Amino acid sequence: MIRILLALLLTALPLTSFAFDASHDAWTRLLQKHVVDVRPGQATAVRYAGFAADRPALKAYLASLSAVKPDEYGRWTKPEQLAFLINAYNAWTVELILGSYPKLKSIKDLGSLLSSPWKKTFIPLLGQTISLDQIEHGMIRKPGVFDDPRIHAAVNCASVGCPALARSAFVARDLDRQLDAALSGFLSDATRNRYDAASGRLEVSKIFDWYSGDFERGHRGYDSLKTLFAKHAAVLARTSDGQAAVRAGRYKLGYLDYDWALNDAR
């Protein structure tokens, strides 16, 4: 009789009592279906039309993120928390785009002179309704929490100039490798980062101008932009002489214009 009562009790438990799927498999399935390589390992594009057709699956994944309670999140490891927040940022960015797709040409078109699409509070997460900016700057980049500048190659702003939207979810067990690969892949894309031997100029994405401070705090072995570029000289320059120049810091640093066009694979 006791076993029967226990079985009935277990079957009566609400679905929300089950642990969150930290593998983020639902998000990976959507990414592999609707994100395509433009330059493998360097850049991707998004089939927003496909995401629109699969919107119920996207909303189900977003609902699973929203169902996580603050105390549950607080018991997770730092890699579990960071993977959760990066995936949340990227998935809700896709959802934001779908709200105005297919007419949308740029995520910046969702804002105005007085408002920013990144400040729009529409995300139910961890007991609050927050914005993309609050996820990125208030949680992911909050000093003393994760302190990992590599995240700038992982969060995706739905733009051509942005680092690639990864084709699989970020997961705790592989997070270090994934972040290293994302940063190296972005730096190796000569359309956004490159050393020009003829002029002696190292031209890089504006991301490294906007967030230079994150690479100057000594976290993850990066204490300056020079350290960052020296570590990745092999992908920034094509020749051994160019690589030696980048490693030695013998270059004029410049920042390329940022392409805010929607990263749509139409």
Query: Structural domain boundaries of the chain?
Result: 19-255
Rounded average pLDDT over 64-83: 98
pLDDT digits over 21-40, tens only?
999 999 999 999 999 999 99
In a 10 Å sphere around its CB, with 0-12 CB exposed, 13-18 middle and 19+ buried, how is residue 76 labelled? middle
pLDDT of residue 127: 96
pLDDT of residue 17: 43
Q: Assess contact for 111 and 117: CB atoms under 8 A.
A: yes
pLDDT over threshold 90, residue 114: no
**pTM for the full model?**
0.92
The two three-digit tokens of residue 102, written as one number: 């297919």
Backbone angles phi, psi at 124, to 5 degrees: -80, 105
State the average pLDDT for the chain.
93
What band does 18 get if pLDDT is binned at 50, 70 and 90?
low
136: left (phi over 0), alpha (psi -120 to 50) or beta: alpha
d(CA 71, CA 65): 14
pLDDT of residue 111: 86
pLDDT of residue 94: 98
Rounded average pLDDT over 231-250: 97
CB-CB neighbours of 2 under 10 Å: 6
pLDDT over threshold 60, residue 258: yes
In a 10 Å sphere around its CB, with 0-12 CB exposed, 13-18 middle and 19+ buried, how is residue 75 labelled? exposed
pLDDT over threshold 60, residue 10: no
pLDDT digits over 184-224, tens only?
999 999 999 999 999 999 999 999 999 999 999 999 999 99
pLDDT digits over 127-185, tens only?
999 999 999 999 999 999 999 999 999 999 999 999 999 999 999 999 999 999 999 99
